[in-house]
Amino acid sequence: MKRYESRYCTFAVPDNWVPQPPFGYAEPGDDEGRLSAQALERWLPKATTAAAHAARLKELLPALYSAFELVGEGRFPAAAAPSPGAVTARGGWTSKAAAAAAGNPAAESGREGGEGRFLTFKYRNGDHEAAIARVIYLLRGPLACELTLSGSVAASPERDRERLWDGIAKTFSLRGLELLSRLELGRPLFSEGLQAAILAGPRRQPTAMQKFPRAGVALPPPAGWEVAEEEGDAVLRRNEAEIRLRRPVGVAGGDGNAGAWFAWRMRQLQDSACLVLGCERGKLAGVPYAAVLHDEKALTRSWSTAAARRTLELFRGTQPPQWWALRAHESAMPDLRPVLEQLVAAAETLPPEEWQLKLAEPWIDFTLEGPWQAASPGLYATLTERQPLFAHLASAESKLALATLRPQAVASLRRGAALERVDAENEVLGEWRGYPALRYSLDGASRRAPAVSVRAVWLAPERRLYSLYVQGAGANVADPLFLGLLEAIRLPR
C-alpha cells in the first residue's frame, strides 16, 4: 500500500499506482480514464459545515464538468487511518481494517478527525468518455481537504471500482490538527468599529506623523509608546507589549493576496508549534484581509510554569500590503487590541515615490526606490509605467556547468521576451569577481512595446547557481537597474 501524506491530509492507494501530479496517484498507463485519486487542501474564507460546503460545490460543479449529473451524496465518517496492508492490489478493504474503522466512535462522530460529506457524479472527460467521480470533503474549522476518486465508467466493473474506492476512502483522514486543537470560532478578532474607522479615513493627528518608507506608511506615535524603525519595520513598544508593522517581502502575500498570506502563515505557525486560537478572513473597508490569533510555542510550553504570550496578526491587502502584529501577555490583550485598531485606522499610505522595498534575498544588498511591488518571492515589479519594469532573482543548488546550462537558459529568456524585432543580442561566458558567469543582453521591440531590453547574468559558485534578470522599456531603463543590482550582489565565499 502506498500512502500519500500532505501537510493536512493522508490517504492510501494500491502499491502499483503511480504518482499523478500535483497531489495524487493513478493506475499505471496513459489513459485519461484510468482510475485515479487526487487530493486538495485549502483554507476557506470562513469556517463552515461540511453540508454547507458540499451544497455550495453542487452549485459550482455543473459549470466545471461536461454533461454533469449528480448521482449520489451523503455524510462521510472521518475514519481513523487504517493499519498497513488495508488496500489490496485491485480492490477491497480488509475486513479487519474495516471493522476497526467502523468501531471507532471518534471517527463516526467526527470529533477528532473533522466532519465530512461526499458527492458522486457522472460527466464526460477530456476524451469525451463517460466518467464518474466521487469527491470527499473533510472540514475542520476553516480547513477543507478534498479527495477526488475518478475514472471512466468503462475502466473497470462497477462492483470492483466501488470496492476499491471504498477502501481508499476509508484511509482518507485529516492530520496535523494540533494547530487547530484550541481554535475558537464565531468570536471576532476585531471590534465592529474598526471597519467604520478605516472607512472614515485618517483623522488629523495632534502629533507629527512618523514616516516608515520601507513599510510604505506614516504613523502617529501613540502616547506612552517607544517608536523605532528596525530593519524597515515600524516597531512600537510599551512595557512587555510590542506592535510591529512590516511590509511582507519574499513571502506569500507580497502582492497583496490575503488568502495566500493566510495559507503561508498557517504553515509557519504549525512548523513553530503554535496553537491557533482564532482566525478570520474577509474585507475591511473593501480591502481583503486575513487575521490570526495564536499562542506562541503552546505545544512545547509547560502550562504549569510558563506565562502565555499571544500574538494577534492582521494582514491587509493594501498597496503596499500591511502586516501588523500585536504581541503581548494574554491578560493584556483586551486593553491593547484597541491601540492596534487605532493605529491601523490612522495609518496613512505614503506617496508611491516615497516607498522603499528592500530585496529579501540574503545574497544581495539592494533597496528599490519608488512604487515597486513584491509580486512573488524573488519577483519585483513596478507597474506605474505603461510598460512594467521587472527584476527577478533566484538561487538554487546546481551541479551543472554554465556551458551546459547556457543554451536552455538563453533560449528561455528569448522566448519570454517575445520580441517581433531583434535589434541586438549578445551573450558572454566568462568570469565575474572570480565566479563562473554567463551574461546575456537582448534589445528589440514586441507587439505591445516599441522598446524592450532584457539583461541577465548567471553566476555559478561551487554547487550553486544564482540568477539575476531585468526587463524594461529600453536600455536606458533596464541598464541602470541591472548594473545597480549586479554591483550589490554579495555571494558567500
Residue 80 pLDDT exceeds 90: no
| 355 confidence band (pLDDT: 50, 70, 90) | very high
Output the CA torsion sign for 426, 427, 428, 432.
positive
Output the CA torsion sign for 404, 410, 412, 413.
positive
Alpha-carbon span 179 to 207, nearest angstrom: 41
**Model pTM?**
0.82
* Rounded mean pLDDT, 389-403: 91
Residue 479 pLDDT exceeds 60: yes
Tell me which of 183-197, 310-324, 474-488 is least confident: 183-197
Alpha-carbon span 368 to 454, nearest angstrom: 18
Helix (H, G, I), strand (E, B) or coil at 92: coil
Round to the nearest angstrom and report the end-to-end CA distance of the chain: 46
Q: 66-82 b/e with 16+ CB inside 10 Å = b?
A: eeeeeeebeebbbbbbb
DSSP lists the bridge partners of residue 2 as 13
Residue 448 pLDDT exceeds 60: yes
Q: Is 9 exposed, middle or buried (0-12, 13-18, 19+ CB in 10 A)?
A: buried
Q: Which residues, including other chains, have CB under 8 Å from residue 102's CB and lie 6 or more apart?
A: 108
Q: Which residues, including other chains, have CB under 8 Å from residue 296's CB and lie 6 or more apart?
A: 274, 308, 309, 310, 311, 327
> Are the beta carbons of 460 and 481 closer than 8 angstroms?
no
| 71 confidence band (pLDDT: 50, 70, 90) | very high
Q: DSSP readout, 194-238?
A: HHHHHHH-PPPPSSPPEEETTTTEEEPPPTT-EEEEETTEEEEEE
DSSP lists the bridge partners of residue 244 as 235, 325
Alpha-carbon span 429 to 438, nearest angstrom: 5
* Rounded mean pLDDT, 158-166: 90
Residue 263 pLDDT exceeds 90: yes
Q: Which superfamily does 354-488 belong to?
A: Mog1/PsbP, alpha/beta/alpha sandwich (3.40.1000.10)
- In the chain, pLDDT over 90 holds for what percent of residues? 63
Q: Which grid coordinates are listed for 79?
A: 475514519
Q: Is 25 left (phi over 0), alpha (psi -120 to 50) or beta?
A: beta
Helix (H, G, I), strand (E, B) or coil at 159: helix
> Are the beta carbons of 105 and 85 closer than 8 angstroms?
no
202-246, pLDDT tens digit by residue? 666 656 889 999 999 999 988 899 999 999 999 999 999 999 999
> Are the beta carbons of 458 and 409 closer than 8 angstroms?
yes
Residue 47 pLDDT exceeds 50: yes
416-436, pLDDT tens digit by residue? 888 999 999 999 999 999 899
305-318, pLDDT tens digit by residue? 445 789 999 999 99
- Its CATH architecture, for the domain 193-350, is 3-Layer(aba) Sandwich (3.40)
Task: Tell which wins on pLDDT, 14 or 21.
Answer: 14
Closest CA relative to residue 173, chosen from 97, 244, 65: 97
> Are the beta carbons of 170 and 98 closer than 8 angstroms?
yes
As a whole number of Å, the CA-based R_g of the chain is 27
pLDDT at 486: 95
Q: Which superfamily does 2-175 belong to?
A: Mog1/PsbP, alpha/beta/alpha sandwich (3.40.1000.10)
Angle at 56 between CA 51 and CA 59, to 5 degrees: 130
Residue ranges of the chain that CATH labels 3.40.1000.10: 2-175, 193-350, 354-488
pLDDT at 32: 73
